[in-house]
Amino acid sequence: MHLVWYFLCVLGFTSKSFRVVHLDLKGAPPRLGYLRQLLPLLAAQGCDALLIEYEDMFPYTGRLANASALNAYTRKDVKRLLSWAHDMGMEVIPLVQTFGHLEYVLKLEEFRHYRELPSFPQEVCPSNEDTMSLIEEMIEQMMSLHPDAKYLHLGCDEVFHIAACSKCTQRHLSKIYARYVIQLAELVRKKYPGVTPIIWDDMMRQWSPQYISSSPLTSLIEPMVWVYAEDVSKLLPHYIWHWYGKTFKKVWIAGAYKGATLPTSVVPDIEVHFKNQISWLNYIDNTPVQIKGFVLTGWSRYDHFAVLCELLPVSIPSLFLGLSLISRKHKHITQTEVFNIWHSSMRCSPSLKFDLHNLKFEPRYLSSCNFPGIEIYNAILQYLTIKSNIEALDISLTEKKGWMTKYNVDHNYTSPWRILEDYRSLNAHQLQQELGHFKNSTELKLSKYFDQFSINEWIEQKIFPLEFKLHNLRKTMENLIRRDVWPRRPLR
Ligand SMILES: [Zn+2]
């Protein structure tokens, strides 16, 4: 009887499993004040752990100092963030990449000799005898700022170039990975007793079941199994889960709430993320595996070099919906109940009723809610309208109408009146003014959430291309209408 009770309480995804929010800070740190405002709300939604991926926002010192961005958090900032999380009763899991995704370190001249391939600054070479001391130093600095951490996430995902250098080519591919990660995990276990190393699981997914179960790695680390697709089983065949369950005592799972559909996306696709989380819950329903925690990942960029994807304030609805779903304390909850919890968490008007379908096609349903970030959410919706209008103008002038096509431009041959008339009737001038106003007002709104470097980057990536497009259209138009005498056909 007791045994049955024990299994019911400990195995599967239970009320004891962590509900984890991933904060990906790379290259665009939210203002601390915003995070402070957010933490109690996350806690109220059931989040009891943070997975913090600092990347270049971590205040590295000594020979690692240049791995930090110039706008990185200070040590004092990190301590404040950790103390707020502690006040909320949240577990903090720091994440430091130790194999792949080390672009922010390996891009630098002083660390280029650690690369697996000279041209690609993603992975360290595990056969380089100096690599482990570099990584050990990164871990030391991370742990010195997280002395209370019970878990340390070592990354180890997406090691795209493995066994590629001349030193590594001699060794078996899965062994090279396993041997290096075992070394890392042993280092953590020995130096920080009580700290459990975690790694992403994707590199292991290609191993044979026999190799997984016989590897010493299984007793050293806890895997974090990530799938962000709408149907988890498509990317994670059940036989792999079966072997994970047989081999590892505890497994973490990770879905996504942002940053997983398109590297240039500006608003999360709530429907895709919600379906992903539901799919995960169905996938692990009645699983005999102990689920240590369910992580909602929210990526800021696809990697260090990529542009920004969805900003955190815009992604709050998606995050809160995910938390409303995974924070249920009992096993069965209807979708209506989840949505009701979600509405109230975002302080939406009780009269508002929406479902996944109208959210996907009418994101303005949320415009009157009052969650922290709503002004940026609304600004991004306005941005999408302006962007779409400018693109429509461009296509209309250069492809649909017949006086400013490539042919007209190449031969400097058009009707000035027609062009001027099209330019006027399509509101090109108003669009330019609207974009200018939008840029100024959004910059001001963003300043409550991000530092000026991040705002400048966002504006350069999202607004500048639209300004450039409008500028080019105007220049082309002005050049074309300057002509007042035209040659006989055929044109040359
Ligand atoms: Zn190598």
Low-confidence ranges of the chain (pLDDT < 70): 1-10, 329-331, 354, 357-363
For ligand 1, the distance from its centroid to the CA atom of residue 252, given in whole angstroms, is 29
Measured in whole angstroms, how far is the alpha carbon of residue 353 from the centre of its chain? 29
**pLDDT score recorded for residue 10:** 57
CB within 8 Å of 178: residues ≥ 6 apart: 211, 215, 217
For ligand 1, the distance from its centroid to the CA atom of residue 178, given in whole angstroms, is 14
Do residues 162 and 123 touch, judged by C-beta distance below 8 A?
Answer: yes
| Encoded tokens for 110 | 């002083």
CB within 8 Å of 100: residues ≥ 6 apart: 122, 123, 155, 156, 157, 158, 159, 160
For ligand 1, the distance from its centroid to the CA atom of residue 160, given in whole angstroms, is 12
What residues form DSSP beta bridges with 298?
Answer: 258
Instruction: Give CA–CA dist 385/69, Å, rounded.
Output: 33
Instruction: Give CA–CA dist 54/28, Å, rounded.
Output: 10
For 295-304, letters b (16+ CB in 10 Å) and e give bbbbbbbeeb
Secondary structure class of 68 (helix, strand, coil):
coil
CA distances, 16 to each of 44, 83, 225, 280, 281 (Å): 16, 23, 18, 17, 15
Do residues 60 and 138 touch, judged by C-beta distance below 8 A?
Answer: yes
**pLDDT score recorded for residue 349:** 79
| Burial group, residue 393, by CB count within 10 angstroms (0-12, 13-18, 19+) | buried
**pLDDT score recorded for residue 340:** 86
Catalytically active residues, by annotation: 158
Instruction: Give CA–CA dist 284/262, Å, rounded.
Output: 26
Task: Please provide the distance, in angstroms rounded to a whole number, between the alpha carbons at the two ends of the chain.
Answer: 92
For ligand 1, the distance from its centroid to the CA atom of residue 119, given in whole angstroms, is 13
| Encoded tokens for 14 | 């239970």
For ligand 1, the distance from its centroid to the CA atom of residue 171, given in whole angstroms, is 10
CB within 8 Å of 279: residues ≥ 6 apart: 229, 230, 231, 232, 233
For ligand 1, the distance from its centroid to the CA atom of residue 158, given in whole angstroms, is 16
